[in-house]
Amino acid sequence: MKSYSITEINSILNGELIGNPELIIQRPEQLERATSTDITFIGSTKYISLWKTSKAAAAIVNENFNVEPGEGRALIKVKNADLAMAQILEVFNPGPPELGVDIHPTAVIHETAVIGENCIIGAGCYVGKDVRLGKSVVLYPNVTILDKTSIGDHTVLWSGTVIRERCEVGSHCIIHSNVSIGADGFGYRPCPEGKGLIKIPQIGNVIIGNGVEIGSNSCIDRGKFSSTIIGDGCKIDNLVQIGHNSVLGRSCIMAGSSGLAGSVTLGDGVIIGGSASIKDHTTIHSGAIVGAGSGVMRDVAAGQTVLGYPACDSKDMLKQWVALRNLIKN
C-alpha cells in the first residue's frame, strides 16, 4: 500500500492539523483495530472516549469535538469527519484487480460482438452474438453476457454475473458477483385441462440506466413483454429480488434481501429497507420510505414512511407496537 505523510493528508482535506506533523500513515483503520501507522476517524461523540486507548497514530475528527491529540500523535480537524473519510479512502484505494491482458485468450467472444475501446475481458467470460460493449467496460473472469445485450461505457461486471439476451445496461454501472439479470419472469397460467401450470413466455427484457450499482447475488427478471426498468442512479444491495415488469425511478435505494414482486412501481428516490418486500402491482411514490422488514400490501404516497407487516404509516405502526406491548403489562 502507498503511504502518505500526515501533512499530505491534511492538505487533501484542507483541515486543521494538531499535534505531531511528522507522522507517516500507511492505511485507514478503525479506532479499536488501528496500529501506530494508521489513521482513524471520529465522526460521532460516542467514539471520542476510545481515542485515548486507541493505538492509531492519527485521527480525523469533527472540528467541534473536544479531543486532544496526545503524546506524539496527531488530529486533523474538519467540518465533517465522515465525508473526509470518503476522501481518504479514495487516496488509499489500492485499486482494482489486475488481469494482465486486455482480452484474455480463454474468453469466448462471438464474432459478431462489438467490443469498445479499452475494454477488459477476463478469463472464461462469454460474450454472445451481437452483444455490444461500450468503451472501457470491464468484465472480470467468468462473466456471461448473452445475445444482443448492450453494456454502456465504463460499466464493470464482477465475476459470476449473468446477463441474459436482449437486455440494456447503461454506463458507469457496477454489477457485483453472481448477479442474475434478465432471467424469465415468474408467470404461469392454469392448464386448460385443470391440472398444473403452463409457462407464459417471457419475451421482454431488462433496461438498466446509468450509474446503477447492483449487489452480489441479486436478481432482476426480464419483462413478460415490455421491460423491467431500473432508473439512473439506483443503488441495489445484495440478494435483492426484482420481479418482472417492475419499474424503478431515479436514485432509488433497495437494501439487502429486500424484494419487489412483479409489476411494482417505485417513484424517484424511494428507499426500501433491508428484508422488506412489496406486493405485486403496487406503487411506492417518489420519496417514500419503506422500513426494514416491512411487508407492503398497498400503494404508498409520495414522501410517506411506512413500516411493519402489514405496513402502514410508520407513526401508526410504532403506536401499534407500543399498544401491543402494553397489553401484556401487569
Report the catalytic residues: 244
3-state secondary structure at position 165: coil
Residue 321 as a binder of a copy of itself (CB under 8 A): the answer is yes
In the complex, minimum distance from the CB of residue 42 to a copy of itself, in angstroms, rounded to a whole number: 14
Whole-number Å distance between alpha carbons of 56 and 28? 9
Whole-number minimum distance, CB 266 to a copy of itself, in Å?
15
Question: Around Cβ 298, how many Cβ atoms within 10 Å?
Answer: 12
Residue 53 in contact with a copy of itself, rule: CB under 8 A: no
Kindly tell me which of 22 and 297 has the beta carbon lying closer to a copy of itself: 297
DSSP for 241-270?
EE-TT-EE-TT-EE-TT-EE-TT-EE-TT-
Q: What do you get for the CA distance between the two ends of the chain, in Å?
A: 61
User: Contact region for a copy of itself (CB under 8 A) — 16-24, 61-69, 113-121, 193-201?
Assistant: 193-201
Q: What string of DSSP letters covers 278-307?
A: E-TT-EE-TT-EE-TT-EE-S-B-TT-EEE
Q: How far apart are CA 72 and CA 32, in angstroms?
A: 18
- The 71-100 site mask, x for binding a copy of itself (CB under 8 A), equals -----------xx-xx--xx-xxx-xxxxx
Residue closer to a copy of itself by CB (options 72, 97) is 97
Ramachandran assignment for 158, one of left (phi > 0), alpha (psi -120 to 50 degrees), beta (any other)? beta
Interface residue with a copy of itself among 8, 22, 117, 316 (CB under 8 A) is 316
Site residues for a copy of itself, 222-251, by CB under 8 A, read: 224-227, 233, 235, 237-239, 241, 243, 245, 250-251
In terms of CB distance, is 115 or 255 closer to a copy of itself? 255
User: Considering only residues 119-178, where is the footprint of a copy of itself by CB under 8 A?
Assistant: 122-124, 126, 128-129, 140-142, 144, 146-147, 158-162, 164-166, 174, 176-178
Contacts of 20 (CB under 8 A, 6+ apart): 6, 57, 58, 69, 72, 73, 74
For the window 283-302, what string marks contact with a copy of itself as x by the rule CB under 8 A?
---------xx-x-x-----
Q: Is 209 in the site for a copy of itself (CB under 8 A)?
A: no
- Please work out the total of residues on this chain that contact a copy of itself, with binding judged by CB under 8 A: 112
Q: Which is nearer to a copy of itself, 22 or 321 (CB)?
A: 321
Q: Tell me the closest approach of the beta carbon of residue 2 to a copy of itself, in angstroms.
A: 11
CA distances from 114 to 12, 106, 139, 150 (A): 41, 18, 14, 9
Gap between the Cα atoms of 151 and 251, Å rounded: 19
Residue with Cβ nearer a copy of itself (233 or 267): 233
